[in-house]
Structure formats: C-alpha cells, structure tokens
Structure 1
Amino acid sequence: MADSQAGFDIPPLKADLSRLKADVEAVNALGIQPGLPGINRVSFSDADMAGRRWLMTRMADAGLAVWMDCVGNVFGRWEVGDGPAVMVGSHLDTVVMGGPLDGTLGVCAGLEAVRSMQDAGLTPRRPVVVVATADEEGRFGGMLGSQAICGEVGPDWIAQATDSDGTRLADALTGQGLDPTGDTAWRPESIAAFLELHIEQGPVLDRAGEAIGLVDAVSGVFNWSVTLTGEANHSGTTPMDHRRDAFRGMADFGHAIDRILAEAGGPQSRLTVGKAALSPNFPHSVAGTASFSIIGRDADDAVMEALAEACRTRLSEAAERHGLELDIVRHSWLPPTRLDTDLHARLCRHADALGAPYRTMPSGAGHDAQTFARHVPAGLIFVPSVGGISHAPNEHSDWDSIHPGATLLARAVADLAV
C-alpha cells in the first residue's frame, strides 16, 4: 500500500457532482424497460451488456486503457507509474426492478475519482484501475466478478453454476459472446488495494444525519434454493388429512423463521425467503411443488453455521409433517469478512480532514469489497440511503449527501496512488 500520510500531501480534491450525476443518469437510461418499474440490468441481459459497453466508452474518453474480461468484468486502467495498481469500483448489474444507485454509483464514482485527479494535474506513482464487476447481485450465486478476479472461482465453478430458473451460467456467458473457460484471476500482488463507494442500503446514516459510513466488517451470506415436492391434486375432493401440500410445507418453514432466529441467530442475523413459486399454481389445485430461495446472513462464522443447520432441521421437519420430499441446492457460501484496519484508519483520517460527520459500522449486505478483502487490503465507504430503501424502484440518496463520500473516495484513491 502507498505510504503517504492520509492525503495531506495531495491537493484537496473534490468530486465533480454534476459530472458524476450525469454519468449515473446516462447508464441508468439503459436499464429502463417498458412495463417494469425501476432499473433492470440483470446480469448478462442485453441491458447489462449495453451498460458495460457504455462504461467502456466513458473510460476511454478519460484516457484509460479499457477491456472486458471473459466473464464480463470491465476494467479501465490509468497507465501511469508502475507496481501494483489501486483498484476502485463496484458493479453495474441490478436486481429485477432495482434502484438507480446500488453499485452503479460506486462504478461512476470510481471513474470520477480518476478524473478529479486528472483535473488536479496529479501524476500517480502507481496505476489506477476502475472496475465494474460482473453479477455482483448473485444471480448465479456468490459474486462472480470479484471472485473471478480474486481467483476464488474459475471454469469448473462456472460450468456447474445455475440461476434459480435453471439457466446455466456458461450458457448466459456464451450467449453474450463471453468465454466460460477463460482465465480471469489477477495475482494478489498486482493489486495494492481495493476501494468501493456504495449506498448504505439501510437507514442508519439517514436517521443519524451522518454523511459517511466507514465499514469495518461485512456479513457473510449463504444462498440456497429449496424445493418441496408433494402431490398436485383437486382442491375440492382431496381431504385435508390426505394432502401432500407443498405450499403448507413452505408456509410451515416460513412460520419457523422467528424461532430459528431466536434460537440460533444474533443481532446481525437475517433470514429471507425472497423468491417463491408454486406448481400447478392454480386456485383449484393443491400445490404439488413449492420452490423458494433462502438467503441467510450474519457477521459471525459460528452464527452463520448455526443458522444454516437450524434451517436444514426446520425444513426436514416441515417436509416430514406434510409428507414431502426435500431438495436443497446450496449455491454459495460467502464467509463474514473483516476489512483492512490500516486502510480503515486512513479513511477515517480523510473523513476528519473533510469535516464530514461519519461513523464506523458493519455492512449487513454483501459487497465486492468483502471478496477483495480476503486477498488484498480493501475499504468500503457508505453514503446515506433515504429511508434505508434499496433493491427497489424508490431507492434514493440525495446528491448533496453523496458528494462528501464521492470526494472522500477521490482523496483516498489519490492518497494510495500518488
């Protein structure tokens, strides 16, 4: 990592808010689909790839060397200095009917950090790489882009990965002209540090009236698909005590979530059933299958293990009670991660110099920074989310509240690179 003293030997950079806002709005125009609210750039959709191509053009306009790797990660390298690069960025893919800032702000703010350094006439002593990672939202489980960069996943993992609808990751990649068999890993020693700016996606900063959150730890997450299989039958002629009703098994598990959290969880525990489907899915039919997702999170490894075991137990009990078969597909397990303490201290000193009210806080959501943190020094900056709303069309952050975090990011990148 660089050895400058918290930015006091660099000019007081300031992000150009109007330029940053214009970039965010431009790429989000590529995520608007008729009939769907919010932003829709689901991983490896045509809209997702259009956003990546737009970014490559903007990076080239800033004089960066630009390329896309074989899984869709986009890089813009400021070819200055030598040695390991400072990497900065986030992701452009969204959930279905997502918000305008989740990930997108961090990518555009990374590019803006480079442009603000260029505007100030700075000549870094090491390269700066802006990155937009692929499939951070976990359509295929995990965080494909950052895990591929860090060498945690490769062709073997890609070959077996599917989304919740059964689409193969390898097919999604080849469908967009990408290569599921290629090499994407960077050597850890080629990256000096990774920095990410992100909306908080929670209410803490907004409620406290604080401009910046400096993350010291990121919760782990496990991602499962569950199928309960019973017997489809007529809803009028099948007695209640003769039914193998898959819906009732799913509902049974849902009712057990509070008990699972009380017995196995902690203050940072989260369990979510966010996607569910019944078959035949007809008003006059008993459900023969119920398929649903389970996402579990916690900042402690042992608690995560306990949550997962409790989920397995309750699912088995629900299946037995209702005469159902149980199948669990475990898509991914991302462990809780501590971020680099020295880099966190640097960010705190920059925030002090900026005069912006901030707090140290954990992140309940997963981010690319947690992947990088397992391999290189990584830091994560939060800006407030109004009402704590995210992964929804009404996700919003006031631009005036974004400005301190974007400026802090620019100064931190300069500190590490100059």
Structure 2
Amino acid sequence: MDLSVDLDRIKHDILSLAEIGRNEQDRGIYRMAFTDADMEGKRWLSERIKDADLECSFDGAVNVSGTLPGRSAGPRILVGSHIDTVPCAGALDGTLGVVTGLECLRCMRQAGITPPRTIELIAFSDEEGRFGGMFGSQSVCGEINPQSLAQMADLGGVTLQDELRRHGYDPMGSLDAARDPESIAAYLELHIEQGPVLDRTKKSIGVVDEITGLFTWSVCLRGEANHAGTTPMDMRNDAFMGLADFAHEVPRVLEENGSDRSRATIGKAQILPGATNTVPGLVEFSLDVRDTSEAVLDELASAFRKALSAIARRRHLMFEFEQKSYLQPVACDQTIVSRLMKQAERLQLEHVKMPSGAAHDAQIMGKMVPVGMIFVPSKNGQSHSPAEWTAWSDIEAGANLMLQTLLNM
C-alpha cells in the first residue's frame, strides 16, 4: 500500500514536545522521569493520541498508550519508545520513536484501515534510568517486584514511590502493568543511532540485528599515600600508576578477548587524597564493557579481572571491584529484521544491518517478545545534548519504513 507519513505533522509534534522542559539558558531539555515536565509531556502525548481518534490509556507504571483496534482479539503489535530525557537533552532521543509511531497509527486511522491485529503505540516511563532502570518496559515485562520498587531512588535520594504518589499514582499499581507475553506479537522501535556510523557512511537507515549487553564495575585500587618529594620512584605504591597501566591494557584485552562489537570505557575516576604533592594512595574508577554476545562479555570480565590482578601484584596494590549493573544482550527477531530489510529495499532507502551499542526499551522487551529496531542517522554522532539532530529527510525515511513494515506485518 502506497501510504506515506505526513512529515509536517511529525515536525510539529517533535518541535512542540521539545518546548516542554526546555531551559532557555543552555537550550537543553530537562524532562527527567516523573518530574513535572515529564508529566506535562505525558499529558501532551495523551491529547495528541485523542486528537488522532485513537484510544488513549495509562497503565500503573504511567506508560502512555494509544491503540488502533484490529479485526481480531489476537496478539497485538507494539510500537514506540520513551519521552523522558537525560538532563540537558536534545529533542529526538526516545521522542522520535514515539512521535513516528503515533504518525503511523494516525495515517492508518485516516486512511480508514482496520488492521488484522491491534496496533498499540506505547511511550515507556523512565527509559533513561533516573531511578536506576528502564522502569516502564520492566514493568510491562513483569520484572518489577515490591522489593525492587521500594529500593528505586535517584542520585539525589528522591524515591520513585514518593514521586509516583506526588503525581497521584499508587506505586503498587506498577506491578499490575505486567502483560502476558502471549498478548504481544512483536515490539518495534525507531530510534536515532546516537553514534556516528550512519552519518559517516551516508546511510539513511540502520536495521538493528543485535542490541548490546553490558556490565559496569566500580573498581578500587589501594596503594599507599606518601610524600611526592621524599618517596623514591622505586619505593612507591602509587595507585594512580595502577590505573594508568590498566588503561593501557584495555585495547589489548579487547583485541585478544573481544569482538569487533566490543567496547570498554573508563568514564570516571577519582584520585585520593588528591593533593599535588602526595603520591596517590587510592584510585576509584568506573569500567563500562559492552558486547552483543554474552559469552564474549564473560570472557572480557575474566580478562579484565586477570589484568587488574597482575597490575596489583606488580605495583604492590590491593584491588577490589563491585558489579554495579548488568544488561543481557538481546538479538532482534530475524523474521522482523528480514521484513525491515526487504521494505527498505522496496522503498529504495540506503540501509545497513548493524548492532545497537546503546541500551533501549527494545532490549527489555526482547527478553519476552520478538523485537525489531530501526536506526536513523545522528548528525556528527551526537546525542544526549542540545546538539542532537537528524535530517528531516532521514526522519521521513525511517517513519515510512516503520509504516510500511507495520502494514506488512
């Protein structure tokens, strides 16, 4: 069917939602989960859903849904993403998938199409993890329990339960958001790449085949603080030199134990006592490791432990680490990947099959139901900043690919 999205409507929706939570000083968007701005965004979305003559609903996790009823009561197709943001965000991360999903359903409704199965737009709560996880999609997948709910808090100590109550929601209602896997046929998500690959290779579309898994460690190297002038170099137990050695080991470990989809990052470090004239006695740092294979992640974890152990022995240091998070890699459904590739070819879109190096709601949903993801280019690979942008032509291409794939399914 030669149905196409209305790019002007997509533009209007993206630019309108971008004004909710906008900071006039830095032009960043501050619509963090369950803030007043986020709740205003949810209300805005619910009005847009109603304006499109779609059924609107909220579940106990405050996920927002818009439904186009199908001819049968069989398993439905979900399409969407999230509208919450990181602090000082751009206009597209998450939002693009929700807005284009809404436009797909709006196009079908206006064309008088009643699909064979129900199609539901869903905007998940707290994908960005203000409270530690992907709360909305985890709720839908039944991964939330009373204990985890009670422990969820942001970096400022504000609890998720208090925020839900502040907005008039019963926190225990999130437990009722869990769905039967048999009720969902598939989940589809369109997202900006958040990286430079599509932009540099001049491709309009990325069809995601695998979503990376990851683990994060908090690592501590403990030596001995001492005077910078009176302690000879060969008599030091310098914790920072241990970190320096380890940083140089990262490429070797990836080359020997990883794959071409492996990533490892030391993104945060603290040197103590932090005086210019003192040999560092303690270094604390983060390690973020990613790959699309669980077996490779296990090998990398083992190799990084061995590297830390060898450095600690050589430098006369003690080391310890704590795993702060773990996300299992998820493969996209091969049937959906094939459908997306065929539709991209039919629409004559420049496309490539690629992994997702970032986590998404599709990663959570993929543990329960078949999932598919479409990427569109990020200008200069930028994301999570006001500089985040994608050409309107690429947005239109991605939205039309989603529309035609939904019609095909």
Band the TM-score falls in, shorter-chain normalisation:
0.7 to 0.9
Aligned-pair CA distance for 1:262: 2.7
Partner SS for 1:97: coil
User: Is this contact kept in 1: 2:69–2:115, CA < 8 A?
Assistant: no
Q: 2:20 aligns with which of 4, 11, 30?
A: 30
CA deviations over 1:210-257 (Å, ceiling 9, x no partner): 222212222212234445677889988999889887655555543432
Aligned-pair CA distance for 1:48: 2.8
Q: 1:122 aligns with which of 113, 127, 130?
A: 113
User: Is this contact kept in 1: 2:27–2:88, CA < 8 A?
Assistant: yes
The normalised TM-score by structure 1 is 0.83
Aligned-pair CA distance for 1:161: 4.5
1:220 partnered with 2:210: no
User: Is this contact kept in 1: 2:221–2:317, CA < 8 A?
Assistant: no
Partner SS for 1:396: coil
Change (3 A) 1:47 1:287: farther
Partner SS for 2:20: helix
- Mapping of residues 177-326 of structure 1, within 5 Å: 177-181=168-172, 182-183=174-175, 184-226=177-219, 250-276=243-269, 291-315=284-308, 321=315, 323=317, 326=320
CA deviations over 1:46-104 (Å, ceiling 9, x no partner): 33333223222222222333333333322222344332221100112223333321211
Give the equivalent residue in structure 2 for 1:4. none
- Which structure 1 segments of 5+ residues have no match? 1-10
User: Is this contact kept in 2: 1:222–1:334, CA < 8 A?
Assistant: yes
Partner SS for 1:311: helix
Give the equivalent residue in structure 1 for 2:335. 342
Change (3 A) 1:414 1:323: same
For residues 399 and 175 of structure 1, what CA distance do their matches in structure 2 show? 38
- Which structure 2 segments of 5+ residues have no match? none
Give the equivalent residue in structure 2 for 1:358. 351
Partner SS for 1:197: strand
Q: 2:31 aligns with which of 33, 38, 41?
A: 41
Change (3 A) 1:31 1:233: farther
Change (3 A) 1:58 1:263: same
For residues 152 and 204 of structure 1, what CA distance do their matches in structure 2 show? 33
Amino acid aligned to 1:112: E
Give the equivalent residue in structure 2 for 1:390. 383
User: Is this contact kept in 2: 1:71–1:179, CA < 8 A?
Assistant: no
Aligned-pair CA distance for 1:392: 3.0
Aligned-pair CA distance for 1:362: 2.1
Amino acid aligned to 2:342: R
Give the equivalent residue in structure 2 for 1:155. 146
User: Is this contact kept in 1: 2:60–2:170, CA < 8 A?
Assistant: yes
For residues 168 and 230 of structure 1, what CA distance do their matches in structure 2 show? 36
Give the equivalent residue in structure 2 for 1:6. none
Give the equivalent residue in structure 2 for 1:106. 97
For residues 362 and 296 of structure 2, what CA distance do their matches in structure 1 show? 22
For residues 336 and 18 of structure 2, what CA distance do their matches in structure 1 show? 31
Say how many residue pairs are matched.
405
User: Over aligned residue pairs, what C-alpha RMSD do you find?
Assistant: 3.2
Larger mean Cα displacement after TM superposition, 104-113 or 216-225: 216-225
For residues 393 and 243 of structure 1, what CA distance do their matches in structure 2 show? 45
Change (3 A) 1:92 1:272: farther
Partner SS for 1:145: helix
For residues 115 and 332 of structure 2, what CA distance do their matches in structure 1 show? 24
For residues 112 and 234 of structure 1, what CA distance do their matches in structure 2 show? 65
1:408 partnered with 2:398: no
For residues 41 and 275 of structure 2, what CA distance do their matches in structure 1 show? 38
1:95 partnered with 2:92: no
Percent of aligned pairs with the same amino acid: 48
Aligned-pair CA distance for 1:19: 0.8
CA deviations over 1:184-220 (Å, ceiling 9, x no partner): 2111111121111111222332233222221222221
